Amino acid sequence: MEQQIPVLGTKETSGLRSEYPSIEYLEAGNIASWLQERQDQLLVRARDERNGMNLAKFITLATSVTGAVCYATSPLAPIGAVVAGIAYLWSIVQDLNDTHQFAPIPFIRGDFFTFLSAMGDSAAREEYFANSNELAQLMLHLEPMEKYEFAMLKQCSHVVCEYLSAVEPGKRFYAYRWLLDWFIQLKGHFPTREQLSGHLAQVTIDPRVNYQQVTAIQQTTQQQNLGIPPARFASLPSMGAREQGSRGEELDLDAFSPIVPSASFPSAPLPPCTSAPLPPCTSAPLPPCTPRANSL
């Protein structure tokens, strides 16, 4: 009778791996696609959290105001206003805890006092909207670890892709989490490749990965990457004797044209068609993410 192998994990961490995109795709070598999918997932999650917070503020504020105005029509209106007011205060406290910004009015992004100070002057208002970073405001609605992860993927996804490409299958997800931890500790820097390879030499392959699916994904990817078929070229047919003889039988169009023959008009040469070259498309390079040697 075979002895049952215990599962690596606890009931508290059983759902953490399911919050990521399919880890088998990362282990199969689709690293760039997996990182982009994770970045989009965090972006959508932050947007949903912000929309839910704004909706909670709007509903509770509208209910409390309606109950306070209609207190004379029903004896239950003040009770509803008090309950909605408590829920509104709780939503503000929760938003303050997540974003560290006081924003009592729904759908007003950023700090409320900074917004009020900028609305009094046209120049200050233009500066406020010019300096506001909507993406940074959206990141504030993520969990603390997810904020740093989104910043790492947004700025240094190419560096993470190069690091993970050198890792063997079965250790890439662990290496991704390890790089994220040190990215947070080193405040935006990565360990060296030697430190990563030296640490992964002591790490075993993850037994929770379905390696049959990894193999199937690799085979499917190899079949799809067949490349573009080469272009086919054919030479134009050469002019034969029959076509050369038919030139003498062409009709004289000037003889049938009611317009005065063109010989009576002086013909001026048409101006040549000139095309101005397009301006070159310049792109600013991404900020380099330099690895820094640190003793781990």
The DSSP string of 15-82 is: TTGGGSSPHHHHHHT-HHHHHHHHHHHHHHHHHHHHHHHHHHHHHHHHHHHHHHHTTTT-TTHHHHHH
In a domain, 226, yes or no: no
Instruction: State the residue range of the domain holding 164.
Output: 19-200
Question: Which residues 6+ apart lie within 8 Å of 217 measured at CB?
Answer: 24, 25, 28, 30
Question: Which residues 6+ apart lie within 8 Å of 102 measured at CB?
Answer: 92, 96, 111, 112, 113
- The pTM is what? 0.68
Given this model, what pLDDT does residue 270 score? 41
Q: How many domains are there within the chain? A: 1
In a domain, 136, yes or no: yes
User: 217 is written with which tokens?
Assistant: 């994904």
Using the CB atoms, write b or e for 52-71: b if 16+ within 10 Å: ebbebbeebbebbeebeeee
User: 240 is written with which tokens?
Assistant: 């034969």
In a domain, 216, yes or no: no
Residue 31 CA to residue 8 CA, distance in Å, equals: 25
Residues 36, 160 contacting (CB under 8 angstroms):
no
In a domain, 86, yes or no: yes
In a domain, 137, yes or no: yes
Residue 141 CA to residue 100 CA, distance in Å, equals: 10
Residues 156, 114 contacting (CB under 8 angstroms):
no
In a domain, 223, yes or no: no
Of 76, 104, 100, nearest in space to 88 by CA: 104
* Residue 216 Cα distances to 21, 30, 131, 173, 184, angstroms: 17, 13, 48, 18, 35
Phi, then psi, of 190 in degrees rounded to 5: -115, 155
Residues 35, 157 contacting (CB under 8 angstroms):
yes
Given this model, what pLDDT does residue 290 score? 55
In a domain, 176, yes or no: yes
Given this model, what pLDDT does residue 261 score? 44
Residues 199, 163 contacting (CB under 8 angstroms):
no
Given this model, what pLDDT does residue 39 score? 95
Given this model, what pLDDT does residue 67 score? 84
Whose structure tokens read 């759902």?
Answer: 15
Given this model, what pLDDT does residue 287 score? 52
In a domain, 145, yes or no: yes
Could you tell me which residues are beta bridge partners of residue 190?
291
Of 33, 47, 45, 36, nearest in space to 153 by CA: 36
Q: pLDDT tens track of the chain, all 296 residues? A: 566 778 788 888 888 888 999 999 999 999 999 999 999 999 999 999 999 999 999 999 898 888 888 877 777 888 888 898 899 999 998 888 888 888 888 887 766 667 677 676 677 677 766 777 788 888 888 998 999 999 999 999 999 999 999 999 999 999 999 999 999 999 889 999 999 999 999 999 988 888 899 999 988 877 665 555 666 777 778 765 455 544 444 445 354 344 444 444 344 454 454 434 434 544 445 455 555 555 43
Q: Which long-range contacts (CB under 8 A, 24 or more apart) does 212-218 make?
A: 213/24, 214/24, 214/27, 214/28, 214/169, 215/28, 217/24, 217/25, 217/28, 217/30, 218/28, 218/29
Of 112, 105, 56, nearest in space to 84 by CA: 56
